[in-house]
Structure 1
Amino acid sequence: MAEARFSVLSEEFDAAPERYFGWLRKHAPVHHEPAVDAYFVSRYRDVRRVLEDHEAFTTETLQQRAEPVMRGPVLAQMTGAEHTAKRKIVVRSFTGPALQDHVRTIRANAAELVTPFLPTGRIDLVNDFGKPFAVQVMLDVLGLDKEDRPRVAAWLAGVGEFITSVGLTDERRRHCLELAGELEAHLVPVIEQRRRHPGADLISTLCTAEFDGVAMTTRDVTALVVNVLVAAVEPADKTLGLLFRHLVDHPEQLAQVRRDPALLSAAVAETLRLTPPVRLVPRLAEHDTELSGTVVLAGATVFCMTGAANRDPEAFTAPDVFDLHRPDLGTARSFTAAAQHLAFGTGLHQCVGAAFARAEIETVAALLLPLLDRVRHSPGSRYRETGLYTRGPVALPLDFTPVHHGVPGHHGVSGHDGVPGQV
């Protein structure tokens, strides 16, 4: 395969990118894609270097890729005191005591959504459950009305398409911007109301927080809310689907997790390593820099290929194998800044929601596994993944032993009296 004929934008690559990772790392570790005039970096050491050297490789590219639909600067664009302060506000909202409240919300929403499918013995874990679940949880965390889930999901799809598309037509760009504008119009009155009458939700927290002694503007809060929504919703349903796909495909490891629930963290960490839901992380080269023998020119966009880096044999033994007992991963550090895998990025702009992502997926999986007895792929279903920037299953139809007694301890979900969505 000649590099001139290879393209990460091709249908062949989209169908099975893992088939090309080894070739890329060996023959084109810094692959230039003429159609988008960008470099795609695939070796683990190069990806880690680009993500950690925030002076040579900045997040300025997000000014065009994210800010127009986020309606303002996002965390990854910020530096210095502003970045430290605002990141701390968001992190505090997803860790410690706040995280325990979120876990109750996560469990309640999961129970509510899965219950109707239990007597049928069949569920599409992506479309019936994962996608609505991911949006609904974040609406509860933000204190937004869950009745608006379909509209919010549609708006977020437009925002996500704008950010994650490597090439957008003018028509699709306009459509995405319109959807982002509708989401902003929906959020602004809520933000203004929470500023006057704050509650216990994340929007209220952002409205009442201060930076340099000054409260954040409505534009600042809107951008952070959209930032949190996209960052939390987009990968969640993909990670859940990928986790169950791997466990169903490896019944001996699924049986081990059932016997020892403490292994669930390792299963989630290995899922994130082998099949990270976010496959590309963009950066902008500030000056000419050499990576694996190729000079990346100043001003060029560099896409870090986390999927390829996480399968680099220089970083992991037998990297294409799903192994929840993998000794070179380190479950305890897999959700921290010391993670060996790069699913959450690394360096200054590592994902702020790693702890929340872990709690969310582990809580849902711990609830679902006892309910989905003898779980297997539905007969006739064909597994397929899609996505260049973010990637996950198109669907995951599963059959299991029907359950007629419902979710243990679940008696319905309350409204907004107390913790949103609490049982």
Structure 2
Amino acid sequence: MTTVAPKFSILSEDFARNPYPYFPMLRQETPVHYEPDIDSYFLSRYQDVRRVLTEHEAFTSKTLTVRAEPVMRGPVLAQMTGAEHTAKRKIVVRGFTGAALKDQVRAIHANAEELIAPFLGRGQVDLVNDFGKPFAVYVTLDVLGLDKNDWRQVAAWHHGVAEFITSITLTDERRRHCLQCAEQLEAYLVPIIEQRRTEPGDDLISRLRTAEFDGIAMSTRDVTALIINILAAATEPADKTLAMLFHHLIDRPETMAQVRKDPELLPAAIAETLRFTPPVHLIPRQVKQDTEFSGTVVPAGSTVFCMIGAANRDPEAFTDPDTFDIHRADLGTARSFTAAAQHLAFGTGLHQCVGAAFARAEIETVAAMLLPLLQDARYSAGYTYQESGLYTRGPLSLDLDFTPVAGGVPGRD
């Protein structure tokens, strides 16, 4: 891959437009890149990023007190350690695994069918805005036991929360807007949480509200923060990864044909999508004491941003890393949604994404359903592919034409 001149800013428009050509230069020439405007360091080498994400005592999540807690309305899982983290994470993970996950797979399929059905006869769909974004929110609301009729409003509030967390810089006006979104989302959730305390159901809110930590029931504030945490963790990867998967397969007809012919290759295609174009590109941590990375000392108390996209394309970790290859020997498909994954799309270590198993169920279920439905999928005439996002990243849209399906979803009653 062609590299670019070293004099640039990660905060620049050029980098935001297309960060991938910058990754080799960063790893080779400035693996510890300093941005004076935000007094932060950016790490791009795989070994440095993995080190930060796995050594949680030396590299703390204290930055989230400022970056996340104001809009999460309380501490989030990534801020917790010790017995509190273990207990609360276990409660949340239980809501995304085992029997609960089997029920969710049925809900995932039903929601996907409902959302894609209106487009099948037309032979046209924007896989991001028509399908992916509403789908991710629909499914998360199902898991939480919230009314799907509220999805547009919840999505708008969530967008403000996500903007606060993922923006490197915010104007005062946008900051106020984001905080207002968080306050309105909290006001919406609190009465529901209180009701589930006395009238619990089978949903995740009920499980959280009736669970105990250290013999004490979690407060409404605790549960609110965890629910907003789950909204972010469950919705962000799904729509972005699904759209990226189809983007890569459409760009590579031979690979698309292989996956269509052998559906068992689909998990590998998803894993390679997560490596090649992860939905989360930056993970912040705070350095507890002066620490050397790749020959540069980062002072104690500094914020470091782990560049997941750059680390996932490090030739020290992956062979021919700038090539999308679902057959690569170093992919580790079977463990790609676990803390043992070779890629770092879901983080790793203590604070690996709590929604990884759920994301796997979402993406695999929906991709397996859509691939045979979107026959001859291709970009619509006049469509130009464009990504956005520095912290989280995905296509702005994915306008596709395909062979129309007569009568809607095959086999649907």
Tell me, in whole angstroms, the C-alpha distance in 1 between the residues paired with 2:304 and 2:235. Answer: 25
Q: Post-superposition shift, 1:407?
A: 1.3
1:383 corresponds to which of 357, 382, 385 = 385
Q: Post-superposition shift, 1:83?
A: 0.3
Tell me, in whole angstroms, the C-alpha distance in 1 between the residues paired with 2:193 and 2:203. Answer: 11
- Percent of matched pairs sharing the same residue: 73
Q: Post-superposition shift, 1:288?
A: 0.5
State whether residues 279 and 393 of structure 2, in contact with CA within 8 Å, keep that contact through their aligned partners in structure 1: yes
Tell me, in whole angstroms, the C-alpha distance in 2 between the residues paired with 1:19 and 1:405. Answer: 45
State whether residues 233 and 354 of structure 2, in contact with CA within 8 Å, keep that contact through their aligned partners in structure 1: no
Tell me, in whole angstroms, the C-alpha distance in 1 between the residues paired with 2:5 and 2:52. Answer: 26
Tell me, in whole angstroms, the C-alpha distance in 2 between the residues paired with 1:393 and 1:222. Answer: 30
Partner of 1:421: none
SS in 2 for 1:207: helix
Tell me, in whole angstroms, the C-alpha distance in 2 between the residues paired with 1:382 and 1:2. Answer: 26
State whether residues 17 and 388 of structure 2, in contact with CA within 8 Å, keep that contact through their aligned partners in structure 1: yes
SS in 1 for 2:339: coil
Which runs of structure 2 are paired with 1:285-304 in the superposition (5 Å)?
Answer: 285-304=287-306
Count of matched residue pairs: 410
Partner of 1:330: 332
SS in 1 for 2:56: coil
Tell me, in whole angstroms, the C-alpha distance in 2 between the residues paired with 1:296 and 1:55. Answer: 16
* AA at the equivalent of 2:229: N
1:164 corresponds to which of 163, 166, 171 = 166
2:111 corresponds to which of 92, 109, 112 = 109
State whether residues 346 and 356 of structure 2, in contact with CA within 8 Å, keep that contact through their aligned partners in structure 1: yes
1:402 corresponds to which of 397, 401, 404 = 404
* AA at the equivalent of 2:118: P
Partner of 1:23: 25
* AA at the equivalent of 2:381: P
Partner of 1:414: none
State whether residues 124 and 398 of structure 1, in contact with CA within 8 Å, keep that contact through their aligned partners in structure 2: yes
State whether residues 58 and 285 of structure 1, in contact with CA within 8 Å, keep that contact through their aligned partners in structure 2: yes
Gaps of 5+ in 2: none
1:173 corresponds to which of 160, 172, 175 = 175
State whether residues 184 and 222 of structure 1, in contact with CA within 8 Å, keep that contact through their aligned partners in structure 2: yes
Partner of 1:52: 54
Which runs of structure 2 are paired with 1:77-92 in the superposition (5 Å)?
Answer: 77-92=79-94
Q: Post-superposition shift, 1:409?
A: 3.5
Which runs of structure 2 are paired with 1:14-413 in the superposition (5 Å)?
Answer: 14-411=16-413
State whether residues 122 and 397 of structure 1, in contact with CA within 8 Å, keep that contact through their aligned partners in structure 2: yes
Tell me, in whole angstroms, the C-alpha distance in 2 between the residues paired with 1:54 and 1:336. Answer: 17
Tell me, in whole angstroms, the C-alpha distance in 1 between the residues paired with 2:279 and 2:295. Answer: 29
Tell me, in whole angstroms, the C-alpha distance in 2 between the residues paired with 1:2 and 1:268. Answer: 32
Gaps of 5+ in 1: 412-423
SS in 2 for 1:380: coil
Let me know the Cα RMSD of the aligned residues: 0.8
Tell me, in whole angstroms, the C-alpha distance in 1 between the residues paired with 2:411 and 2:168. Answer: 45
* AA at the equivalent of 1:139: L
Q: Post-superposition shift, 1:408?
A: 2.8
State whether residues 108 and 410 of structure 1, in contact with CA within 8 Å, keep that contact through their aligned partners in structure 2: no
Tell me, in whole angstroms, the C-alpha distance in 1 between the residues paired with 2:205 and 2:410. Answer: 32
Partner of 1:418: none
Q: Post-superposition shift, 1:55?
A: 1.2
**Structure-2-length-normalised TM-score:** 0.98
State whether residues 72 and 228 of structure 2, in contact with CA within 8 Å, keep that contact through their aligned partners in structure 1: yes
Q: Post-superposition shift, 1:410?
A: 2.8
Q: Post-superposition shift, 1:2?
A: 6.0
SS in 2 for 1:282: strand
CA offsets, 1:311-362, max 9 Å, x none? 0000000101111111101101111111000001011111111111111001
State whether residues 126 and 393 of structure 1, in contact with CA within 8 Å, keep that contact through their aligned partners in structure 2: yes
Tell me, in whole angstroms, the C-alpha distance in 2 between the residues paired with 1:332 and 1:228. Answer: 24
SS in 1 for 2:239: helix
SS in 2 for 1:88: helix
